[in-house]
Every structure is written in C-alpha cells, then in structure tokens.
Amino acid sequence: MYFNYKGQSIFAFSDTHGMHRGLRIPSNIEILICTGDVITDFSEEGLKDFLNWYSNVPARLRIFVPGNHEILFDYYPDKFNQLFPDNIVCLYDRRMEYKGISFYSISCKSLRNNLYSDIQSPVPAYTDILITHFPPQSILDDNDGIRKLKDWVEESRPAYHLFGHVHSQGEKMYDLLSTHCINVSCFMKLKNERNAFFGVVTFKHLLEQYDFEEILQPFLKLWEHNVPELAERLDMNKWKRIYQSIQCIQEEPSDYYIKLVCRWESCSPMIDMNCSVYSRTDHQPVCTMAEYHSWAEILGMDIQIDDDVEITAQELTAGLLWEITYYGGTEEISKENRKRRFKIKK
C-alpha cells in the first residue's frame, strides 16, 4: 500500500508468507514498512531468505515489525536480531524518528499480554505512524481484532495505524477519528496473482473465491441429477454451515494432487474414479478424493483437470464439496462412516 506523508513516499505491506518476490513495489520509495508474517512455517531459514530480499529492495529506510508467524522473536530476541542486516530496522515495542516522522510499534507479545489489562496507551504522544501486526477491534479485522489496541489508537490518535494479519481485508483503509487505519496485508493479492500466473488452483483457493450462494445452483443440480429422491428435502442452511466450516480449515501441504477426469453427474465416489488423489512421485491414483483421510491436505492439493472436461469454477467448487462430504459433513463423521462401510478397524 503506497501513501505519501510529510513529503516522504512510503510503501507498507505484510503477510507475504513466502511470496515476497512477487511483490511489486513502486520505484523511488523513501520508506518501506513491513508489518510481519513474511514466512509460512515459523522457520529461521524462511526469515533469512526474506531479510536477504528485503535488504536489497531500493529504499532509504526499511522497517520490519514481527508478526505472529515470527513468534520466535518473543522467545529468542537476541538470536533473531542478529539475523538482521544493518540496513533493516527491527522495530519491536519502541519508538524511532526519521526525517521528522515518528514511528512506534507494539509487538504481538505485548498485545497478547495486555488484552485485559487497564494499562494506559504505551503509544507516545505525537506519534505519526503506529505499526502493529494485529488489527484493532472492528477495524478491517473480520472479528479478529484487539479491543485494547482500538482503545489505545483512540487515545493516542496517530496520523496512521498500519497493520495486517487479516488477509481478506488487505489493502483497505478506514478512518478512526483522525487516524487513517490501513490493513496492508497483500497475501490475497499475491496468492491470486501467483495462481493466475502458474495456472494453479486448489480447493482452498476456490473456497476463498466463492460464497455458498455462488455455488448453490450447481451443487443443487448435482443432487437433482445423482440423488433426485433426496434433492427436494435438502436443508440448504445446513449445507451452508458445512461449506463455511470447510472454508475455515487451514490447508496443509501434501505429496499428492487431485485429478478430475470427468464431471460429477452420474458419478459415485464408491465406484467411480472421476475425481481422485494422485501421487506426485509416480502419478498413479491413490484413492478417490472422498476416501482421502485429511481434509486439510485436500484443501491444499493442486487440482489438475483433463483437457476434455468443460467445467466452470463454480461447478468445480460445487463438485469438490459434493466429493469431500460424500461420507459425511465433517472429517470425523466421514471417517466413522467409511470405517463402518468398509469395516476398517483403524
């Protein structure tokens, strides 16, 4: 997110989660600000890679504020501060000034420790730019913000409050009293651009793109075509809740991928291999998607679609919902039903 303040060109971002090289930063930026979550797996190696990249991005000042994925800062600050090149400032619960602009950061650890305290705002008077990773409550937070932080912003009234963490609200601004609050998360933008460039799509990506109402008609058509006797009795409010619960599952990496060789009409996961899990090693089918044990892995698997399969993104999402819930509306119920059906002991 680009903005200009006191004659200085500023670019702020967060939540790159390993995709930092895809970030497009305007030229002639004076100040770079990263509000954290630059890695995906809490690893030291991932942070080193980001810092090496960040230190070479042209700018006069580079600020970094750790996010919750850089949680090791909270436990080993001395060790991790040593990773920083001299041209990157790690701003952690402290103030700094540059060319008449006052910056202050509040760490994730401090915000967690003071959730329910009566402590007054630690933000110094006349702070220009407040930087945190977490958002304040009710401000571009998808109900995941911190009430105490909102109180402090209202009390101290910095010119800007920069934060991230909530991917879905990235690159949006909201004015709280006299403070410009900006969610600078660029995760969704980077992910969408990456998927478009490589032609990669996952179930999780589709779940993030479409609400249940947008896939309702193709989902209903699958029931009408495959199980017409049940289609009229479907509780769509129940299915909406199931869909939303699957949307909340965090995807996990997998050594497998999903291959779709034909549409779901007139297909049953019990006897058809139209949508199956394949090994990346030998590209052989392992099982139907409906039989795969981990829903989190399913959400993270790349999806390959045969060239002769004509299907829209909404139809694909509806079909994957049909497949993953074939044995039950939750992962636990699905496992139990498959155990009973196939007499699996474990």
Taking only the tens place, the pLDDT of each residue in 12-57 is 999 998 888 889 999 999 999 999 999 876 778 789 989 999 999 9
- In this structure, the answer to whether residues 48 and 143 fall within a common structural domain is yes
pTM above threshold 0.75: no
Final residue of a domain: which of 190, 220, 247?
Answer: 190
Determine the residue type at 194: R
Domains contained in the chain, number: 2
231 within domain boundaries: yes
- The CATH number of whichever domain residue 109 belongs to comes to 3.60.21.10
Does residue 210 share a domain with residue 115?
no
How far is CA 266 from its chain centroid? Answer: 35
Residues 67 and 159 in one domain: yes
Indicate whether 238 belongs to any domain: yes
Q: Which two tokens stand for residue 182?
A: 């900006």
Q: Which residues pair with 63 in a beta bridge?
A: 33, 89
Question: Tokens 């920083």 — which residue?
Answer: 84
- What spatial distance separates the first Cα and last Cα of the chain, rounded to whole Å? 51
Q: Are residues 78 and 161 in the same domain?
A: yes
Q: Are residues 146 and 204 in the same domain?
A: no
- Helix, strand and coil percent figures for the chain, each rounded to 5: 35, 20, 45
Q: Specify whether the CB–CB gap between 318 and 273 falls below 8 A.
A: no
Q: Are residues 166 and 314 in the same domain?
A: no
Pairing of strands 172-176, 179-183: antiparallel
The sign of the torsion formed by the CA atoms of 335, 336, 340, 341 equals negative
Residue in 183, 299, 288 with CA at minimum distance from that of residue 249: 299
Confidence of residue 86 (pLDDT cuts 50, 70, 90): very high
For residues 227 and 312, membership in a common domain is answered with yes
Q: What is the pLDDT of residues 98-142, one digit of tens each?
A: 999 999 999 999 998 876 677 788 999 899 999 999 999 999 999
The order of strands in the sheet holding 256-260 is: 285-288, 275-279, 256-260, 303-305
Q: Does one domain contain both 17 and 152?
A: yes
How far is it, in rounded angstroms, from Cα 313 to Cα 211?
12
Instruction: Specify if 131 maps to a domain.
Output: yes
- In this structure, the answer to whether residues 166 and 69 fall within a common structural domain is yes
DSSP 88: -
- Residue 90 pairs in a beta bridge with 64
pLDDT band at residue 96 under the 50/70/90 scheme: very high
Which one of 142, 162, 190 terminates a domain?
190
Q: Please check whether residue 106 is in contact with residue 66, taking contact to mean a CB–CB distance below 8 angstroms.
A: no
Q: Maximum CA pair distance of the chain?
A: 72
Residue 124: per-residue pLDDT: 94
Residues 226-243 have pLDDT tens digits of 888 888 889 999 999 999
According to the model, what pLDDT value does residue 112 have? Answer: 86
Question: pLDDT tens digit string along 284-332?
Answer: 999 999 999 999 999 999 998 876 676 778 889 999 999 999 999 999 9
Q: Which residue range is the domain that position 283 belongs to?
A: 200-342
Same domain, 54 and 141: yes
DSSP state at residue 286: E
Evaluate whether residue 195 is within a structural domain. Answer: no
Q: Where are the beta strands (DSSP E) in the chain?
A: 2-5, 8-13, 31-34, 61-64, 89-90, 95-98, 101-105, 129-131, 160-163, 172-176, 179-183, 256-260, 275-279, 285-288, 303-305
Contacts of 248 (CB under 8 A, 6+ apart): none
The verdict on 124 and 240 lying in the same domain is no
For 250, residues 6+ apart whose C-beta sits below 8 A from its C-beta are: 296, 299
Q: Residues 204, 183: one domain? A: no
* 270 pLDDT higher than 60: no
> Is residue 61 within 8 Å of 47, Cβ to Cβ?
no
* Residue 162 to residues 106, 140, 179, 238, 333, Cα–Cα distance (Å): 11, 11, 10, 38, 42
